[in-house]
Amino acid sequence: MNNPISHAAASLRSAVSDAARGLVERETLVELIALAAVAGEHVLVIGPPGTAKSEAVRRVAHATGGNYFEYLLGRFTEPSELFGPVDIRKLKEGVVETDTFGMLPEAEIAFLDEVFQGSTAILNTLLGILNERVFRRGHTRLRCPLRVCVGASNALPDDDALAAFADRFLVRVFVDPIPDPMLEELLEGGWTLAGRDIERAANISDIDALAGEALNADMSRVRPLLAHAIRLLRSAGLSLTDRRAVKAQKLVAAAAVLAGRAKPNESDLWPLIFAVPTRDQQSVARETLRELLAETENATLPAAAEEASLGRLARALRLVESGRRILATQPMDGAEERESWRLKLEGIAREIDAGFTPEQVTAELADVRARIVEMLGRG
């Protein structure tokens, strides 16, 4: 890719890394929000309250400088609470126009909690914004700058009408409370996050540049592989809607661009997993496509790529990134801090040794392991 695009990819990579820092077990969500923004698609997050869904979106918005809108929907939420009130001055003239200043129609990144609680009027208007990036109400017709909308809910809807609306959210992410073994990391991360400002590492223009590159990506090599993957899913009893199958190409193209490839290849098929609608189906899809996704790798989105593919290369990239980050944060003072730092390094080294044969260790991973062993040997 040319230099401006490479610069945009590097900037977004930094933004994603900064946004995810301290959000334990939410790296995948942060990365998939960035992927969806480049692809021009939307994300649906399913999980219980209090699992940092809104925090992840908010941090991506801050790290990219996106104009942000957030709202919790309820059964009695009025359309004006999302889209803005009717302009009273225009109404006196007999014209029904909406004052959208600071509201969803002017947002670049949006988070809608309990999105399925919205009324029919709200959901119908949302469809226009999500699908066409156009807000229509009365005499108002407005082009919306929305790059990505993240909807959240405790569960997928059973109602067929709501399921059709949910299908507009191409990317599906399922989150759980942090497990017991990671509670210390959760507490440390939450304490560190308090009061820490997120630096703007990228701009919306970076997302737009990458989105344009993805739109023009040469899909000729990867399209037969994607079709083969969809056939494998069908043979396993999983069926994507035609809409999802077609739009999955946008995720693959976006993944390639973020990995520095103008022409997607087999390494970029992994986002297909997150286009599969339910958690159980995603698990089946991972096993079904395990061999096809073995070559998955993405340095910009390592957590998401690894979670999708369960692949060795993706896992190696994640360990390289984690190892370098921990090595760069060596504490100078405090016995407890140094001991905690050493334990983290030992954990990385153990995972490398347990997960890779000597022949499978990449040059970057070998370098990180050698640096860890050197540090641990210094006592």
Q: What is the pLDDT of residue 104?
A: 97
Contact 145, 67 (CB under 8 A): yes
Kindly state the helix (H) or strand (E) to which residue 231 belongs, with its residue range: helix 223-235
354 backbone dihedrals φ, ψ, rounded to 5°: -80, -30
Q: What is the pLDDT of residue 164?
A: 83
Q: What is the pLDDT of residue 359?
A: 80
Q: Return the half-sphere exposure (C-beta side, CA atoms, 13 A cut-off) of residue 338.
A: 8
Q: What is the pLDDT of residue 45?
A: 97
Helix 312-327 vs helix 335-355: angle between axes, to the nearest 10 degrees?
160
pLDDT tens-place string over residues 220-251: 999 999 999 999 999 999 988 999 999 999 99
Q: What is the pLDDT of residue 274?
A: 97
Q: CA-to-CA distance for 240 and 372, rounded, in angstroms?
A: 44
Q: What is the pLDDT of residue 223?
A: 96
SS3 145: coil
Contact 142, 134 (CB under 8 A): yes
The predicted model scores a pTM of 0.83
Weakly modelled stretches of the chain, pLDDT under 50: none
Q: What is the pLDDT of residue 358?
A: 84
